[in-house]
Structure 1
Amino acid sequence: MRGFFAATAMAVSVLAAPVAQAETLTDAFIAAYRTSNLLDSEAATLRAADEDVAQAMSTLRPVVDFVLSSGYSRSQTTSSARFVEGVRTTFDLSASLTLLDFGRRALRIEIAKESVLATRELLRGVEQDVLFAAVNAYVSVQVNQQLLSLRESNVRLVTQELRAAGDRFEVGEITRTDVSIAEARLAAARAGLASAEGNLMVAREAYKAAVGAYPRNLAALPRSPGLPSSMEAARAVALRTHPTILGAQRRVTINELGVELQKAGFRPTVSARAEVGINDAGGESQTFGLTLNQRVYSGGNQSSLLRQSIAARDAARADLGQAGVLIAEAVGNAWAGLAIANAQVQAGDQQIRAAQTAFDGVREEANLGARTTLDVLNAEQELLDARVTRIQADAERYLGVYRVLQAMGLLSVEHLQLGIPTYDPAGYYNAVKNAPVHSAQGKKLDRILEKLK
């Protein structure tokens, strides 16, 4: 029996032996990043936000319209006059430009830019979720493979116990009750094996959803990333760098700018307009002028919009404060979970040693007739439970490190040093921020879009 448990001890740790050409955790991270529909969706959302900057920028430029109209007319001045008829064609070219709006357009541009930066933080948050799903799926597959191995070994052991019980029953050493107990325990072991097989299938499906393909031979887990020396240090990093915090800060700025935009709405605008027209008779017309527009009364709408923007700003500030509370709590919970897992691993080692000693002793005593078959099976079950708990605790300890990193906002391709090209949020933004048209810059934008397909 010592040989049996020496063999199954390989399943105690999540860190399995390396396999040639095995799939590593880094491979899983890379595949998850490259195949994630969530990242693709958020990146497209970010590009849409980039276009808001281009649209706001376009308001600084003149609007030029060209109108060509042609029509047939037939009319008479009095009932007795002759009809005058003919076709009239006109060509009109007009341009308009807002000269002064007391900062409205500049504020809209700044709001659009801040919205882009806030959306970038959302993309960082999705990246964290995608990478954690990958490591969670990777560890889950390994754990369930090891649990399946333990369950298979358990079935073999209980089968041996049942066979031995049958032999002892034949010679009258035990009763039929002992045999029935062994039969019941074998049925339970087989049920546990079926459950382990099902759990592994579920883990494989979760892996495919997270990584993009079913797992092959999974390599040993690498050494977990380093963490700060204390929970307070981890919390300080989180409050500075977590995408939820940075995104909330951007939304505060957006709403503060929104208040200024509503205040600017009470001021006038000055615009210029130029128009040139030509008709088919050779006549020409030119019009140039300035327009001052000031809303005098809006039924209280503008005042209401200002009050609404102030309320939204206050809400954004409160959201920022609450985001800090939640992030600090998340770091504390993750840190505590990691400490619990470490304690469980240490306790699990002690439990396994004690359960192994107890099993060996009960087994020897049963051979001498001082213990029953039930005593042996119970001792074996306790040892099995201890090994299962140890495997699960080791997995939780490993995942706990990544939970802390995620709570700190550091679970990223860059921090994990995966060494792969990542989506460049500035590339598309720089190409569209000046609102290019079909020019040399527009062709450059077309090439960027083609690469993103």
Structure 2
Amino acid sequence: MVSATAGHAQSLRDALSATYENNPTLNAARAELRGVDENVPQALAGWRPQITGSASTGLVNQSDQGFTGRGFSDTTVAVQMVQPLFRGFRTVNSTRQAESIVMAQREDLRVSEQTALLQAATAYMDVIRDTGIVALRRSDLKFQEELVRASKDRFSVGEGTRTDVAQAEAGRARSQSALNAALANLNTSRAVFRQVIGLDPKNLSPKSNVATLIPKSVSQAIAIGQEEHPSIMSAMHFVDAAIFSVKTAEGTLLPTVSLEGNLSHNHNSRDGIGGGTTNTASVFGRVTVPLYQQGTEYSRVRQAKEELGQTEILVDVARDTVRAKAISAWGRLNAAEGSISAAQAEVSAAQLALEGVIEEQRVGQRTTLDVLDSQSDLVDARVTLITAQRDKVVAAYALLATVGRLTHDFLGLTVPKYDPREHYNAVRDKWIGLRTPDGR
């Protein structure tokens, strides 16, 4: 693997840390979770009173049969407070439902974090791979140019043919085309690197300790994934939320009890002859018993139960998906390791073959086309080796992601860890206020 050694190397851990802190998709997922946090204080609002104020004023013209109409003004100011006492356990259950959804969303955030970090590791290794391939293609172009020069020299002294020159020039053209394609791929990889990580790639180093972090066997990978993967944990929290959703829907069939208090002040004046002022205060206890509400409450209960069944099935789906991905990632990792061994052997053999063909060409036993074929085989073998080395590192990070361990703590990232509990604790019990905890 080719990497720059001058200056401070931008390590893979640095790139992952930058991604964790700056990736816009990841920051959007965090903002989504902060929005979901607000469902909890909205559910808790079922315990809190509702206070409303009203004011009215106007002119009234009143006339009776046989009497002249009289006009008077009437002004009323009132305040009403309704304090829920019992709502069929809907407040309790809806709060627990909202809390379960928050927990599920936190696990979904962990999925987003792992997806972003895997994308960053992939982009990082893609730049290293494509940089190495560009270096190989440039070296190959220099070889082809030297071969063209040598072919022309031999032709000028009568030791070669015009065919040899044409073959060498064709090889040079193919090498130039391959270099152009490699440069285009490198530019694409660098652009993706910038998009995912938020930095321009500089002095990348292929060194990584990921091999020490992966499970030791496929069975261990499956076991860890079944226990720790956030997709499974999220699905289980959604089951809890669905259970409380059923209970909340059933609560609409139970009575509600509330306490109502009213204060009002009324003043009226009749035709300038004075008026009256009335102050009223009242407190009522109200019990409401639902008898029949068009059948919608029964339908909502049945619907909630079906949704509960769906979420229970989705837990099994998540487990099966994690298991399949763990097996697949383990297979890709083993395949990459095998490809590296095979490619290293291929490079060694192709190097020896090229050297032999060049020597045989010098004594007239091989043609220029043989040299071109051997050089092409060597370059292809080296490209295969670089690609396999990249695939091994990416497969290792993918394996970590499939078992749920491609995380800030497990990777030891160098930036502060995002703690979703800070925002949750800041808004959970807020009774009033328009500003978010960060001041917006």
SS of residue paired to 1:311: helix
- Please give the TM-score of this superposition, normalised by the length of structure 2: 0.94
**In the TM superposition, what are the counterparts of 1:343-362 in structure 2 within 5 Å?**
343-362=338-357
Counterpart Cα distance in 2 of 1:352 and 1:414: 39
- C-alpha deviations, 1:202-224, integer Å up to 9, x for none? 11111110111321222343332
- C-alpha deviations, 1:340-383, integer Å up to 9, x for none? 00000000111111111111111111111111111111111101
Alignment counterpart, residue 402 of structure 1, candidates 394, 397, 403: 397
1:22 CA drift (Å): 2.6
Confirm or deny that 1:111 pairs with 2:97: yes
Alignment counterpart, residue 94 of structure 1, candidates 51, 64, 80: 80
Counterpart Cα distance in 1 of 2:349 and 2:159: 29
Counterpart Cα distance in 2 of 1:42 and 1:389: 37
Which shows bigger deviation, 320-329 or 44-53? 44-53
Which shows bigger deviation, 216-225 or 124-133? 216-225
Q: Find the counterpart in structure 2 of residue 68 from structure 1.
A: 55
1:251 CA drift (Å): 0.8
Counterpart Cα distance in 2 of 1:215 and 1:159: 31
- C-alpha deviations, 1:79-114, integer Å up to 9, x for none? x31222222111212111221222111001011111
Alignment counterpart, residue 246 of structure 2, candidates 244, 254, 259: 259
Confirm or deny that 1:270 pairs with 2:257: yes
Percent identity for Structure 1 against Structure 2:
31
SS of residue paired to 1:449: coil
SS of residue paired to 1:59: helix
Confirm or deny that 1:185 pairs with 2:171: yes
- C-alpha deviations, 1:294-340, integer Å up to 9, x for none? 22223332221111111111111111101100010011100100000
Letter in 1 for 2:102: V
SS of residue paired to 2:10: coil
Confirm or deny that 1:324 pairs with 2:319: yes
Confirm or deny that 1:170 pairs with 2:132: no
Confirm or deny that 1:432 pairs with 2:427: yes
SS of residue paired to 1:282: strand
Q: Where does structure 2 lack aligned partners over 5 or more consecutive residues?
A: 268-275
Q: Find the counterpart in structure 1 of residue 236 from structure 2.
A: 249
SS of residue paired to 1:291: strand
Contact 2:155 2:162 in 1 (8 A): yes
Contact 2:59 2:71 in 1 (8 A): yes
Contact 1:121 1:246 in 2 (8 A): yes
Letter in 1 for 2:95: I
Contact 1:17 1:220 in 2 (8 A): no
Counterpart Cα distance in 1 of 2:177 and 2:357: 25
Which shows bigger deviation, 222-231 or 177-186? 222-231
Contact 1:57 1:435 in 2 (8 A): no
Q: Find the counterpart in structure 1 of residue 273 from structure 2.
A: none
Alignment counterpart, residue 8 of structure 2, candidates 2, 21, 25: 21
1:266 CA drift (Å): 1.6
Distance 1:407 1:428, change over 3 A: same
**In the TM superposition, what are the counterparts of 1:219-368 in structure 2 within 5 Å?**
219-224=205-210, 225-280=212-267, 281-368=276-363
Counterpart Cα distance in 1 of 2:337 and 2:414: 30
Counterpart Cα distance in 2 of 1:140 and 1:240: 31
Alignment counterpart, residue 149 of structure 1, candidates 123, 130, 135: 135
Counterpart Cα distance in 2 of 1:240 and 1:74: 77
Contact 1:19 1:219 in 2 (8 A): no
Q: Find the counterpart in structure 2 of residue 195 from structure 1.
A: 181
Alignment counterpart, residue 208 of structure 1, candidates 194, 197, 200: 194
1:68 CA drift (Å): 2.1
Q: Find the counterpart in structure 2 of residue 161 from structure 1.
A: 147
Confirm or deny that 1:449 pairs with 2:438: yes
SS of residue paired to 1:22: coil
Confirm or deny that 1:41 pairs with 2:28: yes
Q: Find the counterpart in structure 2 of residue 388 from structure 1.
A: 383
1:65 CA drift (Å): 1.4
Letter in 2 for 1:425: P
- C-alpha deviations, 1:31-84, integer Å up to 9, x for none? 222222112211121111111101111110111112222222222122x31222
Which shows bigger deviation, 428-437 or 391-400? 428-437
Counterpart Cα distance in 2 of 1:223 and 1:255: 41
Contact 2:57 2:76 in 1 (8 A): yes
Counterpart Cα distance in 1 of 2:36 and 2:352: 65
Confirm or deny that 1:121 pairs with 2:113: no
Q: Which runs of 4+ in 1 moved over 4 A?
A: none
Q: Find the counterpart in structure 2 of residue 7 from structure 1.
A: none
Letter in 1 for 2:44: M
Confirm or deny that 1:77 pairs with 2:72: no
Counterpart Cα distance in 2 of 1:83 and 1:33: 78
Letter in 1 for 2:262: E
